[in-house]
Amino acid sequence: MQNNVVDLIIYLVKRVHIGARLKDIKLDKLRGYNHSEISAAYSWLIQKHEAGELVGDQAEMKNLPAPRVLHPNEHSRISADAYGYMLELYYLGILDARRMERLIEYAMLRIDNEVTCIADVKEWVAGMIFDSEYLGSDRSLFLKGNETIN
């Protein structure tokens, strides 16, 4: 279900970027999604919009800092399609730089040594979007530079 909600959020954000208002998007055109998925996507979008966390128009998108370039080791663990998907989410405002970095960390720390694909990224993004503990907290897997291990 959560992957469907991520797909629906992407669709709605794209529609908003081209000038559609949420109340003008016809629910009957959202075939393939059940009521709870639509409700979850709308709720997330409204929450982010009210908090001012969504990039609204092309002018705001131009002010986004460019995401960092992947290191060759990261390129070997993240497929080009998966990284392109991450960039799309970043430029749509669904991911911020911190969450994008978290996705790269997840890919690098995979135990199975598989190359990360779009399905993996969708799963991780869904977890980030719907994990209430994650929101507002910084649970980085690495030390920040001013921390020590006792």
Provide the whole-model pTM: 0.75
pLDDT over 70 (residue 12)? yes
Spell out the domain ranges in the chain. 2-130
**Mean pLDDT value of segment 22-32:** 72
| Structure confidence at residue 47 (pLDDT) | 83
What is the pLDDT confidence band of residue 136, given thresholds at 50, 70 and 90? very low
pLDDT over 70 (residue 44)? yes
pLDDT over 70 (residue 145)? no
| Structure confidence at residue 86 (pLDDT) | 93
Chain segment 53-108, per-residue pLDDT in tens: 766 555 455 567 788 889 999 999 999 999 999 999 998 888 888 889 999 999 99
Q: Higher model confidence: residue 45 or residue 100? A: 100
Between CA 96 and CA 108 the distance in angstroms is 19
